[in-house]
Amino acid sequence: MQVQALAKKVMSKSQVRCSLGSSKDNHSRSGLDDAKGFATPPSYDTFVIVQISPHVNLLDDLRSVLGDRARDGDFELGLYGKDGSVLQGQASIVCLPVDTEEVRQIVEICRHHDRPFLARGSGTGLAGGAVPVGDPVIIATAKMNQIIEVDLDNRIAWVEPGVLNLDLTKELTPRGFHFAPDPSSQQVCSIGGNVANNSGGPHCLAYGVTSAHVAAIEVVLPDGSVTVLGDLSAEPPGYDLRGLFVGSEGTMGVATKVAVRLTPNPPAVRTLLLDFPDVRDGAATVSAIIAAGLIPAALEMMDKRAIEIVEAFVNAGYPTEADAVLLVELDGLPGGVEHGVEVVRSVAERHQVGNIRVAADNEERELLWKGRKNAFGAVARIKPDYYLHDTVVPRGKLVEVLDKVYKIADAYDLIAVNVFHAGDGNLHPILAYDSDEKGVLERVHAAGRAIITASIEAGGVLSGEHGIGLEKRDYMGMLFSAHDMATQDMVREAFDPQGFANPLKVLPSGSRCSDSFGQHVPDGAWV
């Protein structure tokens, strides 16, 4: 499918209007509260595994292209049956292609057998976007892991989707550049996964999320054609199909090559750790820093429980007596950075800061960041399992929503740990639990829904960087009208009219004009 034709199809689909009658009422914001005063979760207890059809011939056809890289063993199916979320699904076959042509042939074979497919990177996603539903063929891009070309003059690198985020930056750093998006899973997440979820990270406050760092994408579309979305010019003409594809979570095709923009390494970097006797003072400091006209590279906050478990895990020198710490990073020209340090110091002193620690060298800086980036793993020191959320609220509502998070956790007898991107209001409340405890998953999901509801009621949105996936698809009606979702679904249909690409993700069942709303996550997954 040619790019121009695809753009025309997208526009024609998105301009269609339809009457959905009273179906919008099924997604109203009212009627969400349970007896505890918080919202109830979707009906996960209805999930069952559905095998669509025998796949012997499908497997044979795939092996004719891939050999033993098309697999249906119990180990592979178990490994690729879940991602970093708490959800579990069932794959039928796992494919490990090595290039675009193999991906194209896999898609063609799936079309021939009327079988859906799911593109998968490292599986670090936390919203269930890579959880197989509907018995799909998994297209795992782990073997497509080459840095194809680095063009320093034009600050562009062409990479395959299986390249790990940190490996790309390690390759670029000695040459004076890096890839700006830096999720906490940076060591293991892939560029393809970053593209799928429009990932961010601590430094997205100043540098933006993945979409700002992708110039073009080679894509195998669901019809089996290969095209390139976007180009390498600063302002490409026409519709931004590249931007449409980034963050689509594999529902519009499979990325096979990505042209990423390279960011120059800053000439100077200063990292500060500020501690506060009250989390409210830390949140107020965040707003005041930005109000002072300063946009740091990163503004990260951790609450007391997070500080305690991280310090026990990493020994980064975090003050365990503090109620909150704020990690501030400034970069740029030396003079501007030193001025920024003084601005941060002045603002913090007006907001009851305890101690201000400035990293003396790069080794100390890396240690401070090691604590922040290992916060999720450190949760294992208190409970074996955790459920990590991703919502965004206005900075002025951070304290209000944090208070509600603590109350929600208490109401459902759970432990809440808060580590978040304070600069842009991107909350990551962690609910720690033990899955062996009877009935705990029901409480976890009920608390999760309550947190989402509180965030939206505060003027926030469902996700900042983790995507919607399977986890939040049934919450979309809390934020979008029926017409909004129908339009989104029609755009997706322009790319994938038969619904082969990562089906049943992002949008609730019944998003099209002919369907009804209000259905829950489909058969094929469980918690």
> Residue 159 sits in which domain range?
147-264
Q: Is residue 347 assigned to a domain?
A: yes
Q: What's the pLDDT score for residue 8?
A: 63
Query: Considering the chain, what percentage of its residues have pLDDT values greater than 90?
Result: 81
Q: Give me 372's structure tokens.
A: 């922040």
Residue predicted with more confidence, 211 or 40: 211
Q: Which of 241, 264, 287 is the last residue of a domain?
A: 264
Q: Is 347 exposed, middle or buried (0-12, 13-18, 19+ CB in 10 A)?
A: buried
Q: Domain check: are 303 and 335 in the same one?
A: yes
Residues 260, 154: one domain? yes
pTM of the predicted model over 0.75:
yes
CATH classification of the domain holding 165: 3.30.465.10
CB atoms within 10 A of CB 22: 8
Whether residues 241 and 152 fall in one domain? yes
Whether residue 255 is found in the same domain as residue 316: no
Q: Is residue 200 part of a domain?
A: yes
What's residue 13's pLDDT? 57
Token pair in block for residue 515: 């369907």
Residue 238's pLDDT is: 84
Phi, psi of 255 (to 5 degrees): -75, 130
Residue 235 lies in a domain: yes
Task: Tell me what the mean pLDDT of segment 381-393 comes to.
Answer: 93
Residue 241 has pLDDT above 80, yes or no: yes
User: CB-based contacts of 157: which residues, under 8 Å, 6+ apart?
Assistant: 147, 148, 149, 150, 151, 168, 172, 179, 259, 260, 262
Using a CB cutoff of 8 Å and minimum separation of 24, what contacts does 31-34 make?
32/449, 32/453, 32/478, 34/446
Contact predicate 367/316, CB 8 Å = yes
Least confident of 31-40, 205-214, 373-382, 486-495: 31-40
* CATH number of the CATH domain containing 340: 3.30.70.2190
State the CB neighbour count (10 A cutoff) for residue 454.
25
- Together in a domain, 201 and 283: no
The answer as to whether 31 is a domain residue is no
pLDDT tens digits, residue range 430-459?
Answer: 999 999 999 999 999 999 999 999 999 999
Q: 255 and 154 in one domain?
A: yes
Residues 258 and 290 in one domain: no
What's the mean pLDDT in 268-281? Answer: 96
Among 212, 402, 440, 161, CA closest to 301: 402
| pLDDT band at residue 514 under the 50/70/90 scheme | very low
| pLDDT at position 342 over 60 | yes
Query: Rounded distance, CA 154 to CA 237, Å?
Result: 19
The mean pLDDT value for 245-264 works out to 98
Instruction: Supply 329's token pair.
Output: 């990073």
Tell me the three-class secondary structure of 285-323, residue by residue: HHHHHHHCCCCCCEEEEEEHHHHHHHHHHHCCCCCCCCC
For 236, the token pair is 């490409």
CA dihedral for 201, 119, 472, 447, sign (positive or negative): negative
Domain co-membership, 198 together with 250: yes
| Collapsed DSSP state (helix, strand, coil) of residue 419 | strand
pLDDT given at position 250: 97
Q: Are residues 249 and 346 in the same domain?
A: no
Query: How many helices (H) and strands (E) would you count in the chain?
Result: 16, 22
Burial degree of 303 (CB within 10 A; 0-12, 13-18, 19+): buried
Average pLDDT for 477-493: 94
Range 146-156 average pLDDT: 97
Contact 148, 134 (CB under 8 A): no
Residue 238 sits in the same domain as residue 339 = no
Give the pLDDT band of residue 519 (cuts 50, 70, 90): very low
Do the domain assignments include residue 420? no
- What region does 43 belong to: left with phi over 0, alpha with psi -120 to 50, or beta? beta
- Regarding whether 255 and 175 lie in a shared domain, the answer is yes
% pLDDT > 70, the chain: 86
Ordered DSSP codes for 72-121: --HHHHHHTTB-SSS-EE--SEEE---SHHHHHHHHHHHHHTT--EEEES
Please give the Cα distance from 172 to 151 (Å, whole number).
11
Q: What is the mean pLDDT of residues 142-168?
A: 98
Domain assignment present for residue 218? The answer is yes
Residue 411 in this model has a pLDDT that exceeds 50: yes
Residue 103 in this model has a pLDDT that exceeds 50: yes
**Distance from C-alpha of 27 to C-alpha of 17, rounded to nearest angstrom:** 19
b/e sequence 220-232, b meaning 16+ C-beta within 10 Å? bbbbbbbbebbee
Q: Give the per-residue pLDDT at 320.
A: 97
pLDDT at 301 over 90: yes
Q: Is the pLDDT of residue 54 over 70?
A: no
Please tell me what DSSP assigns to residue 33: B
Which residues fall within 8 angstroms of residue 282, CB to CB, at 6 or more apart? 274, 276, 301, 323, 324, 325, 326, 351, 422
Both 255 and 157 in one domain: the answer is yes
Rounded to an integer, the average pLDDT of 102-120 is 97
Kindly state the average pLDDT of the residues 42-66.
64
More confident residue, 38 or 90: 90
As a whole number of angstroms, the distance between CA 451 and CA 454 comes to: 5
Output the pLDDT for position 1: 58
Of 223, 243, 264, which marks where a domain is finished?
A: 264
Total number of domains constituting the chain? 2
**264, 296, 325 — which closes off a domain?**
264
Q: Give a yes or no: residue 425 inside a domain.
A: no
Between 151 and 516, whose confidence is greater? 151
- CA 151 from centre of chain: 28
3-state SS class at 340: helix
And the tokens for 206? 């100043």
Q: What's CA 172's distance to the chain center, in Å?
A: 24
Report CA-CA distances (Å) from 324 to 40, 364, 382, 386: 30, 20, 19, 21
Higher model confidence: residue 54 or residue 135?
A: 135
* 34 within some domain: no
Strands 263-264 and 177-178: antiparallel
Shortest CA distance to 409 belongs to which of 389, 381, 435, 391? 389
- 303-322: average pLDDT: 96
